[in-house]
Amino acid sequence: MPFSPRDGGVVADPTTDPVNGNPDAFAGESSTGATFRRFFACFDFKSATGIAQNGLSVTVSADNGSGGRQSFFDLEDNGSGIDVTTYDYGAGAFAGPVTIASGLSYADWINIAVEVLFYDGAGNDVVNYYLNGSLIHTSTSWEEYYNDYQATQHPLGVPVQSLLYRVSDPVGIASVSGGGFYIDNVKTEVTDIPEPTTIALIGAGVAALAGRKKRLI
């Protein structure tokens, strides 16, 4: 399970120190000790083969750096294109999969972004998903999952600092050996939530990131 860079390191004590003694590296509610309230991450992806890879499934989550996730989306090969799905949480259960994009080309580089806005209080965080600079889905974070099922392990809440990538389909792993996705231009940042008058600039910034020249690393 590879992570994007984790400025706050691996969280050793999520119960009493969820920001691992590095509040400036995390975004989360004030109870967590995080300095910032907005997490944003984006990257470019493309099929590594240019053809169908049935069973290929890679999930990506905003994460605290040790498996504490606050969102989830899945890049899935449906045999004729790439779908993006997610699961929303509410009323004590996960709902989904919810398809938020479908039939994406095997030939194109695609930019995807996730933005988590943390607001103090229950059930009010916001998660936005963007595809090539356009907002495609809005939901809540998983904060209520932790309140419902892991309150003892995470009494202060779960802040995030990085992206977690997971190959989730054990059947698909063998069938797509040697293939998969190219992942490039990974960017993560933690900031304050912008004022309403500047929110439009976020979309413009995402669009600019999606439009720049792609390269492999």
Does residue 10 form part of some domain?
no
Question: Domain for residue 18, yes or no?
Answer: no
Give a yes or no: residue 20 inside a domain: no
Would you write out the chain's pLDDT as a tens digit for each of its 217 residues? 899 999 999 999 999 999 999 999 999 999 999 999 999 999 999 999 999 998 889 999 999 999 999 999 999 999 999 999 999 998 899 999 999 999 999 999 999 999 999 999 999 999 999 999 999 999 999 999 999 999 999 999 999 999 999 986 555 566 667 789 999 999 999 999 988 654 455 555 555 554 544 433 3
155 in Cβ contact with 79 (< 8 Å): no
38: in domain: yes
Q: Is residue 3 in a domain?
A: no
pLDDT at residue number 169: 59
Per-residue confidence (pLDDT) for residue 214, from 0 to 100: 42
The string of DSSP letters for 180-215 reads: -EEEEEEEEEEEPPPPGGGHHHHHHHHHHHHHSPP-
> What pLDDT is stored for residue 208 in this prediction?
54
Cα separations in angstroms, 159 against 58, 59, 72, 120, 206: 22, 19, 15, 12, 22
> pTM of the full predicted structure?
0.88
Per the domain annotation, does 179 fall within a domain?
Answer: yes
Domain presence at residue 6:
no
CATH number of the structural domain spanning residue 192: 2.60.120
| Domain enclosing residue 179, as ranges | 25-211
* Structural domain includes residue 216: no
Domain count, the chain: 1
